[in-house]
Amino acid sequence: MTAKSKGKIRHFAFSVADPWETAEFYKDVMGLEEVSELDGPLAEGIFLTDGVVNLALLHFKDEEASQGFGTQYVGLHHIGFWVDDVVQSSKQAVEAGAKWMMGDPENPHGYEVKHWDLSGIVFDVAAHGWAGAQFNPGQPDNQIHPNPHRRLAKFDARREAAQKAHAARKAAALVAAE
């Protein structure tokens, strides 16, 4: 294996019922930082980070978009590896038995390429990382994904409702503890 084909785990994607409520939990309990919201063709959700790894909290829009998990599935959906060479990494994965799922494995600058591993676990390879992620922290060759800090106005009400629900849960827990 060459250095160019080695990946670093820098992305976890959870399929959740409500990305905004789940985000409030992880921001409060683990101190994660919100870096971006997403309303893409497959899913809507929020990206969080610990400063090195990206955590995507996603709700998939339909059965096809859920990539075989179903829209009601809650749990780990896929992991992502930040690599130097997407084309080489995709080629190595397929040669080792992975099955290509989506994305252009011939485009070194594309968004990401998804595969199923030998056990059917979904993984991405990407040459640019994910919002809030760093490729090689503390090293001279470190790359930091551009961090858009983007919030979408269409999710304002959902974000506010999630914040209120989280505060109410915490207040109820304090009362129960007394």
> What's the pTM?
0.91
Alpha carbons 90 and 133: distance in angstroms, whole number:
21
Residues 6+ apart with CB under 8 A from 35: 47, 48, 49, 54, 131, 132, 147, 148, 149
**What pLDDT is recorded for position 105?**
94
Superfamily of segment(s) 3-177: 2,3-Dihydroxybiphenyl 1,2-Dioxygenase, domain 1 (3.10.180.10)
Domain positions in the chain are 3-177
Q: What would the pLDDT profile of 16-40 be if each residue is shown by its tens digit?
A: 999 999 999 999 999 999 999 999 9
pLDDT, tens digit, for every residue of 134-157? 999 999 999 998 877 889 999 999
pLDDT tens column, 48-100: 999 999 999 999 999 999 998 999 999 999 999 999 899 999 999 999 999 99
